[in-house]
Structures are given as C-alpha cells and as structure tokens.
Amino acid sequence: MTDKQPAVLALNEKQRFEFNKLKKRLRRLVGEAIADYAMIKDGDKVMVCLSGGKDSFTLLDILLSLKLNAPVSFDIVAVNLDQKQPGFPEHVLPQYLEECGIPFHIIEQDTYSVVKRVVPEGQTTCGLCSRLRRGALYRYALENGISKIALGHHRDDILETFFLNLFHGGTLKAMAPKLLSDDNKHIVIRPLAYCKERDINEYARLRDFPIIPCNLCGSQENLQRQAMKTMLAEWDKRFPGRVDTIFGALKNVAPSHLADPTIFDFAELEALRNSTLQSTGNDEGLDILAI
C-alpha cells in the first residue's frame, strides 16, 4: 500500500503537506510504542484484527508503511470476523484488501444470533460480543501460526478504560500496550497506544477508508465510556497538557507509594531498615523529613 490513493491524490498542495506531517507523526508514535514494548520481533506473523472501523484501518495502514523499512522482517495478515449481522456489507473489506494487495482472511461466525438470543432487550451487548469475537480470533491465530495479535486501541481508549476502572471498578487498571492472554497462548499488541484519536480520525478521513459502522445493537452507545470521553475532551480543552500528563503517569508508576500489598512488600520494610542500620553500624543521619 502506498500514498497513491485517490483520496490522497485529490488533496491540494497544502492538504498533502498536512497529511504527510500527520502520517509521519503516526508512524513515529507507532514506531516508538513498538520499540518501547518490544511488540514486533524478527520473524513475527502479525494478525491485524480489521473490524472495518477507522482505528483498525489506520493501524493496518501504518504497520504496512513501517514494514517497508523496518529493521526486522515480519509478515502481516488482515483478519476480519464476519458476525453475520443483518445488512453487513460483506463485500467491502475483501474488495478493499484485494485492491491493495493485502493478505487477508474472513472468519465467518454467527455471533450476532448468539448475542441477540442471550442478552435481554435493552441491555448492552458489548461484553458478550467482545468475548465471542475474541474467542474466534484467538482460535484462528492458534491454528495459523500467528505470533502477535494487533488491536486498534489508541491512547484515548486506554485513558477512558483507566478512568472507567477507577470510577466504576475500583481498580488502577487500563489497557496494556502488550499483554499475554489469560491462557498464556497469545501475545496481544496495541501499536496505536501512543496515538491520539483525533489524529486517527483525521488520517482515516484523508485516506477515505471504506468505514463500516458497528450496528449489532443499533450503534448502541456505552454511556459510561462516553462520559469518560466527554470528561477527557473537556479537560483537554480547559487544561491543555493535562491528558498528556495523565497518560505519562501510566508509564511512571510507583508501587511503593500506592496501597496494594500484592505488588509491593510493605511487610518487609522493617527487615530492610534493620539490615541497613546493621550494615552502617548506627542510625545517625536518618532524616524524619525524608519519610
């Protein structure tokens, strides 16, 4: 895939200049995330989970661009799960991927009927839908030698999840840029972890990707997540830099200054103190103000 797409070619000189700046920024941020978390290694077979949304289209596009001059060799395959939603335009993704010469596979599994049968009318379907979708993708990855599963979650998704867990789940937890699945069989990566949603929105618009909206539940909106999105947008508007600082904090954690005894051994502090005093022979110089 190259930048010689009709939508990009139609841009005027100023627009192309801005587009190239945007693409360079996204490439740089994705490259930094891949390097920081050792996401992709030589010989990897990376499965990009392509939903038809702006995020996964952008992820695939940027990874293909990086692959051209990456310091390691890796393969990319785009995989879409056709959930048999009524009215789903099943021709769109295959046509796009074939025209771009991108290796792909379409998994056909009727998760739509399962979700509509199990979830009571009016309740959110996202949880069950996500689990069924993940199971199908994991199964394909295991059967086809996939070493990395790439998802399109971006920086804003990570921050929204952090505050959802903080406000509603009582946990300090977000989305990891790289994780091992619960069964220890899959490595999941999020190369867009450093990318802002507004940049992805603009990139997808300029690329004119054939976006397919999720309408499994009538474009059902997760109200709590939307509230987090609104809160972050307001902070970003009123306090420039605050959201960047919060994301930076997720990379700068001090377990000894939190309160979870399962990740920091508070019980052993006395032993550490006594060992230090014994090695120095006295307790002179201890500064109570340093506590």
SS (H, E, C) 160-214: HHHHHHHHHHCCCCCCCCEEECCCCCCEEECCCCCCCHHHHHHHHHHHCCCCCCC
Per-residue pLDDT, 90: 87
Radius of gyration of the chain (CA): 23
Per-residue pLDDT, 284: 56
Per-residue pLDDT, 100: 93
| Residues in the chain with pLDDT values less than 50 | 216, 218-220
> Is 126 flagged in the annotation as binding?
yes
All structural domains of the chain, each given as residue ranges with its CATH number in brackets, are: 6-250 (3.40.50.620), 255-290 (no CATH)
Task: Tell me the whole-structure pTM to 2 decimals.
Answer: 0.87
> Is 217 flagged in the annotation as binding?
yes
Which residue from 180, 177, 190 is spatially nearest to 151, judged by alpha carbons?
A: 190
Which residue from 210, 16, 197 is spatially nearest to 97, judged by alpha carbons?
A: 210
CA–CA dist 23, 203 (Å, integer): 7
> Is 129 flagged in the annotation as binding?
yes
Residues 6+ apart with CB under 8 A from 258: 172, 264
Per-residue pLDDT, 71: 93
Supply the mean pLDDT for the chain.
89
Per-residue pLDDT, 245: 97
CA–CA dist 156, 119 (Å, integer): 28
